[in-house]
Copies of this chain bind each other. A is one copy, B any other.
Amino acid sequence: MQLGLSVSDSDASPFTPLVVLELAYDTKAEAITWLLNRIRDKQRNGGAELLVDQLMFPAQDGQKPNPNVFVVGSTLQRLLSGAEDVGLCKEFQDGTMRGFTYANRESFKDFEGDGEGFLSDAECQYIVKHELDTLRAKNEVYIPGYPKFKLYPGKSIVRRLQSKGVLVQYFPLHNKEDLKRLSFSWYKKIKLSFQPLDDIRSYFGEGLGLYFGFLEYFTFALIPMALIGIPYYLFDWEDYDKYVLFAVFNLVWSTVFLEVWKRCSATLAYSWGTLGRKKAFEEPRAGFHGPLGLNPVTGREEPLYPSSKRQLRIYLVSVPFVLLCLYLSFFVMMVYFDMEFWAISVYHENPNFATSVLLFVPSIIYAVVIEVMNLLYRYAAEFLTDWENHRLESSFQNHLVLKVLVFNFVNCFASLFYIAFVMQDMVLLRQSLATLLITSQILNQVMEAFLPYWLQRRRNKKVYKRIKRLMGDKELPLLEQIQLETEMNTYLGTFDDYLEQFLLFGYVSLFSCVYPLAAVLVVLNNITEVYSDAFKMCHVFKRPFSEPAANIGVWQLAFETMSIIAVVTNCALIALSPQVKAYFPESDAQLILTVVAIEHVLLAFKFILAFVIPDVPKHIQVKLSKLDFESLEALKKRRRALSRKSWKLRRPEIRGFSEL
């Protein structure tokens, strides 16, 4: 709310723009009028009661700009009542986090005066998004001007406009001052320090706050591994006793830190008010389709799609497809090894410059093919998951993550597994691991931040010049800002960032006992990753809507699964080492049995550890149960009062739902 700019070219009173709506260039005028009316209409008439205004960009180079760009804002009171609707939790006077209610607003800690500054920018934008998303059709049977775009009572208007392509995009605006402050404290300071997680969260929302919290935590958690790993590299310790110690330390440590992360994440989520937050009922996704019917939960009319059909699609099409892709990935890997052997044999037959160049060809081809396969598979996975027709965005995301995760895991690590357990060549394994890790780190940093930044800067310069040329010296910072941000790339969520960390964790843990230096490399990578990710969020992408999140969701499971697989791989690697084999000179069987026993003990230990360490710290559990207790007591009192009243009034026919 600190943003002082206002939309000036309008009759209505000026307001702070929060969200930009861009409709298609050729949207029919009656649809626009209808939409704006619905957005502005009072809540009691089913409107969103928000402020909205059209932006007029000047024509450029004879090309008419899109006239259908709107900014949406809101009065403070509307935002505060919206905060109640979305179930926002804020700090209460007594230090607990409670659901905000307008009636008790004065009892919340940071509420002063009329509540200016009580809600963060990201919260205001999230509330506006929620109010837009839940703007529902009343009796309209189609979108005015588009008789083919059907509506039915209760359908979210914005979702329908989106799925039909009328609404091109809507996104929250950056707040230049806050952004400057944030980026300074985040990555422009020279001295090393913790990230300003609370500021990140209040600017970008809880989802991203948790991602950066995890990134920092993960990096710190790797430091002990890195420190222990360095002497192995420096002194060239080839003693397998030490490797075994290192591997055991790694396995136990990775369990402990994943468990402790749950506690840290619960602490963060509690202080951000998302831990105890009741999940609102999710709207169906924009792409969800099916014959209209009554939702058994809400009783509202909406598309229904039998989950049995979805299950069939998942198990009969998606699962076989994924398995096929995995097989293909294996096949490509085998071809790569064949090519590799062929190249080596050619080189050995006739060692000259041409054949020595040939030695690198298979690796290069394989690397390119892997990237292409990842890309193709990603599209296929998105298409398939969309086709599975999930009702909720969250379940869509989970299925997509699972598909991509499995494939990426196999694609990245299959060759390492092959080298380790089929070829049993530890030197080659160490080489390949180092090569893969370092190249993927470099590629990632370039692809993820610097390339988009470079493209963005070129584009910005063009836009900037164009605007300069048109306006002369007239200052129109808001228009310019909106123009710039409209053309920025959209941040597609934390998926790729988590995936990268997941694969790095794999490089560190799966083969930790042959390459202790991996942790060092990952720590170094993550220190720059913090900066490049921060930079990318602040300057490369459109500001994303904040996403309330209480934990890192499916990624916790993914990391835990990886740490279980790591136990198996490390035990197997240790069993393969000649030094360990020397302890059991008579029989391989004895060796394998011993290693398997140790593996089972380690696995059991991991499960017991996960069971024993509570997921939520004690002091937060106490706060949560205090709230529960208070609400139960309040309910009891109210019920007593109610029943006493009803006994006195002798009205046994009071009906209706209880409030709980």
Contacts and interface: CB of A to CB of B under 8 A. Distances in A.
Interface of A: 81, 84-85, 98-99, 101-107, 278, 280-281, 296-298, 307, 568, 587-589, 591-593, 596, 600, 618, 622, 625-626, 629-632, 634-636, 638-640, 642-643, 646, 652-660
B629 A297 contact: yes
Contacts of A81: 640, 643
A591 B589 CA distance: 9
Contacts of A278: 632, 660
A485 B646 CA distance: 40
Contact of A657 (B593, B630, B659): B630
A658 B281 contact: no
Contact of A281 (B600, B632, B634): B632
Tell which of A101, A106, A107, A642 has the most Cβ of chain B within 10 Å: A101
A27 B105 CA distance: 55
Contacts of A642: 101-103
A298 B629 CA distance: 7
18 contacts: A99-B658, A101-B639, A101-B658, A102-B639, A102-B643, A102-B646, A103-B643, A104-B654, A104-B655, A106-B655, A278-B632, A278-B660, A297-B626, A297-B629, A587-B588, A587-B589, A630-B657, A659-B659
What is the interface of chain A mostly: helix, strand, loop, or mixed? helix
B643 A84 contact: yes
A458 to B, nearest CB: 47
A396 B281 CA distance: 38
Contacts of A296: 622, 626
Contacts of A646: 102-103
A296 B619 CA distance: 9
Nearest to A637: B659
A360 B29 CA distance: 99
A98 B658 contact: yes
Contacts of A107: 655-656
A108 to B, nearest CB: 10
A634 B622 contact: no
- 8 shortest interchain CB distances as A-B pairs: A588-B589, A102-B643, A101-B658, A592-B592, A297-B626, A297-B625, A296-B622, A103-B642
Contacts of A625: 281, 297
B84 A639 contact: yes
Contacts of A656: 104, 107
Contacts of A622: 296-297
B654 A103 contact: yes
A636 B652 CA distance: 26
Nearest to A296: B622
A422 B278 CA distance: 55
Contacts of A634: 657, 659
A47 B343 CA distance: 92
Given A104-B656, A631-B660, 16 more contacts: A81-B640, A99-B658, A101-B642, A103-B639, A103-B654, A104-B658, A106-B652, A106-B655, A107-B655, A107-B656, A278-B660, A297-B625, A297-B629, A307-B618, A589-B591, A634-B659
Contacts of A280: 632
A280 B633 CA distance: 10
B638 A659 contact: yes
Nearest to A101: B658
Contact of A592 (B98, B102, B596, B600): B596
A657 B92 CA distance: 10
A592 B639 CA distance: 66
A630 B660 CA distance: 8
Nearest to A625: B297
A101 B658 CA distance: 7
A103 B297 contact: no
Contacts of A105: 652
